[in-house]
Structure 1
């Protein structure tokens, strides 16, 4: 009887040539995206002198995924994923280059931006679906951790250096650089990944509606997958602090610098947590810690009700970020547990659910902060998040033992994670 699997090493993942190419493609695109977000917000504000339109422009970099996730992710299960990623990158390069044309109207910029974000959905679905194939078994957990850390660090670096870079280069040049990063990403993907056939050939007479809803049907029928999606949606509780960083900093008597420190605390803690959880904890133990870590990620925010100083608050938010690293093994287990033929659709569904949860949580927290102080709102969300997390954790702990283990390989098409009713009760 073998012992628990050892925690995967990052060196083992980077030894895979295809993964290095995927990672480099992500790294270039993440940096360019953050630069473009800052550039667009500044460009729209300069032309319209409207803070509302500038905020709307930034929101448009996030909202289209709510539509593109469930409606376009199925493309990753119908076409060769490498080719789909290349087409999406080149399409985004052309759209962003068009946005860089001087004199482009604000409304045309917004329309082009929506198209860019819609095209991003099938690209993300294809990359996420391909990752377990490129880094199979326990190495997938380390690969997912690297992808997560890259996104977090890219966000931090983009927000920190984006304004300075745009000021030095100009908005049009920054957008052209973003277009160039998409071209580079396409080249790395095309020449760095092996050619693979499409995941599955659709059965004759298969309806388009079935292609779009197949992932939802799979998740709905599987209690393990439903709980893993629920773990992802718990981020809607502890993400509320990001939306209230400005009023919270103001309540403590700090300005933009304080806001920046608060916003950086969570991602910085998440990077540390991901490293510890994936480097020092075995995959099976990581899944057993999902519940306690989820409860702690929200629960630690309860102490913000005391309105501690900026330094203590940054520590609290950073600790919340450390505990939020449970999302990495949860995401890895989810992706590895879905049949390859439906992985793109299942990822699109989960991504959309998490986006909605975070959007609703931040919006509700913002409205509540108009009535009561921001520290109290964040603490209340911490209490609610810990309570809901405890319920999810309890249901997770009641799964049959063989269902809460980290899958060693993705299940083949037709294999179900569910058990018969007699086994459950």
Structure 2
């Protein structure tokens, strides 16, 4: 193929270090989903308690908040490849300990929490390192490829998790999860070259000086927070299907709608990358539009309409998320990129848990269709506000960087 005809996603996939990071992430995500299925079944089999099974599942997410706030900065203090390898090796040891037969439940829960906490510096270092290994014109496409790969790995992990647990048992399935972490660490160690820890001397290549606050980042964190509103439908799929009068097949259809849309959105974002570091529209417009299909659920009832609308929302939300992460890679100085990426990921996780919980409370009062519509309206409002913040920040940055000497010249 002629080089001039290569799409940005092809350019990204031709970078060996990116392929290694992408493969390692997919492997870890797949193992995580298998482990979640195995742990839920293991705890429920031991206790016959749905509450304790749900607690076990929650522990695979909630401690990431603590890890993201406290440990993301490690990706800026130490070489990022080292952070990834050490974090994966540590998670492999913790996962192997979870696979020991008969481990007491309190110990098991502690191991799950620690494993989740250790995942935070891994994610921060990985996201920051991708911005170092990919050329700028392929960065957005690379993030889109990541998004699609992650969705595929999640669906495959959940889909095969039950089969693997039945075939291998919970102990072997948890051991398989441990193995994925060790293999992931080996892939990164062998195929990603060593780089020194980021320093402030590297900031000259970035668009924003290290010590200067950038209002665009405030808008980006607002956009990360509103993602929770856009996943409220997933949390309400069962009551939505019940209210629509469809069977368990309808629940699966509704829960699959957003991941399917997300895969399409990732493909589109990889195919049509745009410049986002100095423009707000490529990020804000799809963020605003992502809430519109959810708002229509109030006037277009029924499971089939809902599935189509949720898929469209998934397409638009993935497009803006991919562009948003690419913007962070361009706006944040390299020496601070790991901490910002890690905290942004934490914001994404936290917002989803909080929004789904609130969505359930609202659905009990007004019904699931109305609750989904209200979540969409709230997402539109938040996206518009984020757009205004981003737009108002740009002129201030331009004056601060480009026009500051002007008064002295005039004088």
* TM-score after normalising by structure 2: 0.89
Aligned counterpart, 2:272: 280
Aligned with residue 308 of structure 2, among 315, 337, 351? 315
Q: 1:330 to 1:319 in 2, by over 3 A?
A: same
Aligned-partner SS, 1:283: coil
Q: Residues of 2 paired with 1:219 and 1:347: CA distance?
A: 17
Moved more, 268-277 or 286-295: 286-295
Aligned-partner SS, 1:61: coil
Q: 1:133 to 1:281 in 2, by over 3 A?
A: closer
Aligned counterpart, 2:23: 24
Shift of 1:115: 0.7
Aligned-partner SS, 1:93: helix
Aligned-partner SS, 1:128: helix
The answer (yes or no) to whether the contact 2:227–2:352 under 8 Å persists in 1 is: yes
Shift of 1:281: 4.4
- In structure 1, the gaps of 5 or more residues are 1-5, 203-216, 405-415
Shift of 1:288: 2.2
1:67-106 Cα shifts (integer Å, max 9, x gaps):
0001001111111111121111111111111111111111
The answer (yes or no) to whether the contact 1:7–1:281 under 8 Å persists in 2 is: no
Aligned counterpart, 1:128: 127
Q: Residues of 2 paired with 1:219 and 1:129: CA distance?
A: 18
Equivalent residues, number: 393
1:197-227 Cα shifts (integer Å, max 9, x gaps):
122389xxxxxxxxxxxxxx97992101111
Q: Residues of 2 paired with 1:128 and 1:316: CA distance?
A: 30
Aligned counterpart, 2:389: 395
Shift of 1:403: 6.7
1:324-349 Cα shifts (integer Å, max 9, x gaps):
02110111111232111111111122
Q: Is 1:303 aligned with 2:296?
A: yes
Q: Residues of 1 paired with 2:16 and 2:247: CA distance?
A: 45
Aligned counterpart, 1:105: 104
Shift of 1:287: 5.0
* TM-score after normalising by structure 1: 0.86
Aligned counterpart, 1:86: 85
Aligned counterpart, 1:206: none
Correspondence list, 1:5-404, <5 A = 9-200=8-199, 221-284=213-276, 287-306=280-299, 308-325=301-318, 326-400=320-394
- In structure 2, the gaps of 5 or more residues are 202-208
Q: Residues of 2 paired with 1:222 and 1:294: CA distance?
A: 20
Shift of 1:391: 2.0
Q: Residues of 2 paired with 1:218 and 1:32: CA distance?
A: 37
Aligned counterpart, 1:207: none
Q: Residues of 2 paired with 1:418 and 1:329: CA distance?
A: 25
The answer (yes or no) to whether the contact 1:93–1:182 under 8 Å persists in 2 is: yes
Q: Residues of 1 paired with 2:391 and 2:73: CA distance?
A: 32
RMSD: 2.7
Shift of 1:242: 1.3
Shift of 1:8: 5.2
Shift of 1:280: 2.5
Aligned-partner SS, 1:71: helix
